[in-house]
Structure 1
Amino acid sequence: MLNRPDIDVLLKRNEEHCEKHKGDALCLRIVAVADLPTRFGTFQIVAFFNNKDGKEHVALVHGDICDSTDVPVRLHSECLTGDALGSLRCDCRDQLIIAMKKVSAMDKGIILYLRQEGRGIGLLNKIKAYQLQDGGMDTVEANRALGFGDDERDYAVAAEMLRALTVKSIKLLTNNPNKMQQLEKHGINITGRIPVLIEPNEFNRDYLDTKRRKAGHMLDDLLNGTVKGEKSSRE
């Protein structure tokens, strides 16, 4: 875990970095660090403030990640319906829980919880997209019908959070090649990928298949039954 001297160094480096990047440059300021025991393991929660749009993001940190290489990292975009309400339409809650369990079982790791609800279109538009999906559209078609791209998320914020945490290189927990490409575009050194495969349920199988076919998610072996995913959580 981060000790008090580690935290003080992080805060000092972050303050100096943000002072150098005043004005139009994106800067994620660390505003607080606290212990966070959970049912899935013990973490420290690091709170960030985005100087560009005022959004608040958090990182769950396990182990000594400062100036470390090959740190396991999960990027998790906010999903109220899945994370908090237990929706079975997506695999978001299960991916978050599995990521927390995996990271807490490792020597070190980070989960970035990003305020990018509905792949960046916001909660209300996500519910509108659900309504269109109830009428027969898939998740990509619904986004486009509402005037959005397939995925409106921007991972520049995630890259800045990792830099603020002084991480040198990461192993990304993901099935999504776009996350890897965006992080690399923003200067993050990715040395490996760790799949996060969740066993589909009757409500999200089509959703997962759309992510595979239209967004390039690496789910072929899961959906054709070659490999088994981890069981969906009901916790």
Structure 2
Amino acid sequence: MNNKIAELIQSSDPVLVPTAQGIFAVRGFEFSDGNEHMLATAVDADGNEKTEESSPLIRLHSECATGDLLGSYRCDCGPQLEQALETVQRQGGAVLYLRGQEGRGIGLVNKLRAYALQDRGIDTLDANLQLGLPADARDYTQAAAVLTRLGLTQIRLLSNNPAKAEALERLGVRVLELVPDIVEPRPENEGYLATKRDRMRHRLA
């Protein structure tokens, strides 16, 4: 589906969800192409948002079944999500969980096919290309639509990826600062992180 032509058709009221990282006010957003996304905003025990800032801290987190659900060591997605939830609880802000963005937008099956190529020594970027797929197929139009609907048009972005900030800027969301969301590498994902740093402009050491 082309995110650019999908309209935001409805959203749920916020509900309080207690988690290991704290309490979040969670809302769902549905688009006309069937995509659904989730915004988790940090709140206190009374349900009050933890930030009064005009430029709140926002994390756009792309769905990653292997990392977020299985805790895979092949990527940094699961630890990044957990760390992001902890960070917005401390500083105020929200995590926008973007479904339909699996494998940088290529889908779960293709991501696993790319993993098979990586097991033969091909890096994460070239694996996508060998499958005839883009290095990064994600589109942030729907993320920008959610942020704009909520009046969040001036934010600090919790991310190591300048491309996310550039995409949001093109879509009318001003990014005042790119706040790092760096997690400790593991032996299993050192090559993956090096490719993101060296070939995809991620701000990693």
The TM-score with structure 2 as length reference comes to: 0.90
Distance between the aligned counterparts of 2:193 and 2:129, measured in 1?
A: 18
1:33 to 14, 24, 29: 14
Q: Is the 8 A contact 1:28 1:164 kept in 2?
A: no
1:191 to 159, 176, 180: 176
Q: After TM superposition, give the deviation of residue 189 of structure 1 in Å.
A: 1.2
Say whether 1:55 aligns with 2:55: no
Deviation sequence 1:28-74 (CA, Å, 0-9, x none): 521342111100111011101011x1011100012438996211000
User: Residues 1-235 of structure 1 correspond to what in structure 2 (within 5 A)?
Assistant: 26-27=7-8, 29-51=10-32, 53-63=33-43, 64=49, 69-106=54-91, 108-115=92-99, 116-219=101-204, 222=205
**Which one is further off, 88-97 or 163-172?**
163-172
Q: After TM superposition, give the deviation of residue 134 of structure 1 in Å.
A: 0.6
Q: Is the 8 A contact 1:133 1:142 kept in 2?
A: yes
Q: Is the 8 A contact 2:8 2:29 kept in 1?
A: no
Letter in 2 for 1:29: Q
Q: Is the 8 A contact 2:159 2:181 kept in 1?
A: yes
Distance between the aligned counterparts of 1:25 and 1:208, measured in 2?
A: 32
- Percent identical: 44
Q: What is the RMSD computed on CA atoms of the aligned residues?
A: 1.7
Find the counterpart in structure 2 of residue 225 from structure 1.
none
User: Following superposition, which runs of at least 4 residues in structure 1 exceed 3 angstroms of deviation?
Assistant: 63-68
Find the counterpart in structure 2 of residue 11 from structure 1.
none
Structure 1 unmatched ranges of 5 or more: 1-23, 223-235
| Cα pair distance change 1:54/1:200, threshold 3 Å | same
Structure 2 unmatched ranges of 5 or more: 44-48
Aligned to 1:104, the other structure's residue is in SS state helix
Larger radius of gyration: 1
Q: After TM superposition, give the deviation of residue 26 of structure 1 in Å.
A: 2.7
Aligned residues: 195
Q: After TM superposition, give the deviation of residue 199 of structure 1 in Å.
A: 1.0
Q: Is the 8 A contact 2:162 2:202 kept in 1?
A: yes
Letter in 2 for 1:148: L
Distance between the aligned counterparts of 1:149 and 1:182, measured in 2?
A: 16
Distance between the aligned counterparts of 2:42 and 2:59, measured in 1?
A: 12
Q: Is the 8 A contact 2:153 2:172 kept in 1?
A: no
